[in-house]
């Protein structure tokens, strides 16, 4: 498994090493020791799956705040998504910056997303499925988010948004903080 840091602290791209033969391939997608070596929280307290019918569906930008902040391991198991992470930690040198990666069933790539980072994605295919492993259980009072189209972030979404929940559309714009 190849674990690469990104420009945002506590965000890693993980590319499984596929061992192929006539049957197909085998790849490791999780290894507690390898995660710890890179400073990735290996705790898993909850797993979720998200299925999305339409290409252009958008979910985000989500996170959980303290005292129930969560790290996530995100992988697309069917189809493809454009996965976006925004650093919303005021003390961070990359505060309000974002990065994006294509995750797909074909490329097997996954993201280890640290605490304090907002996460969202847009489906690039119909019938896209996303699998999440979280370090913390869902706590409604700590759940929050930011509007996917916040002008401070200036996220460049690849497709027009065709489906968005009322809750995601109602997330506020970020109120900039300085440290």
Question: So which residues are the catalytic ones?
Answer: 62, 132
Transcribe 73-116 into DSSP letters: EEEEEESEEEEEEEE--TTSTTTT-EEEEEEETTT--EEEE-TT
Closest to 75 (Cα-Cα) out of 52, 103, 99, 98: 103
Note whether 51 and 127 are within 8 A (CB). yes
Cis peptide before 67 (omega within 30 of 0): yes
Q: How many residues does the chain have?
A: 179
Residues 161 and 132: their CA atoms lie apart, in Å, by 22
**Is the Cα torsion angle 63, 66, 68, 74 positive or negative in sign?**
positive
Q: What is the DSSP code (8-state) at residue 6?
A: -
């Amino acid at each position: 498994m190849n674990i690469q840091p990104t420009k945002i602290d506590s965000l890693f791209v993980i590319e499984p090493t596929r061992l192929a033969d006539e049957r197909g391939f085998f790849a490791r997608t999780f290894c507690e020791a390898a995660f710890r070596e890179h400073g990735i929280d290996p705790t898993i307290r909850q797993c979720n799956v998200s299925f999305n019918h339409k290409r252009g569906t958008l979910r985000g930008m989500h996170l959980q705040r303290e005292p129930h902040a969560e790290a996530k391991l995100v992988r697309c198991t069917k189809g493809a998504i454009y996965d976006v992470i925004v650093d919303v930690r005021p003390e961070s040198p990359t505060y309000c910056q974002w990065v994006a990666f294509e995750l797909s069933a074909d490329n097997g790539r996954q993201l280890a997303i640290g605490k304090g980072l907002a996460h969202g994605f847009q489906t690039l295919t119909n019938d896209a499925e996303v699998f999440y492993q979280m370090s913390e259980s869902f706590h409604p009072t700590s759940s929050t988010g930011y509007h996917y189209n916040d002008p401070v972030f200036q996220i460049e979404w690849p497709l027009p948004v065709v489906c968005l929940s009322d809750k995601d559309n109602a997330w506020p714009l970020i109120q900039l903080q300085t440290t």
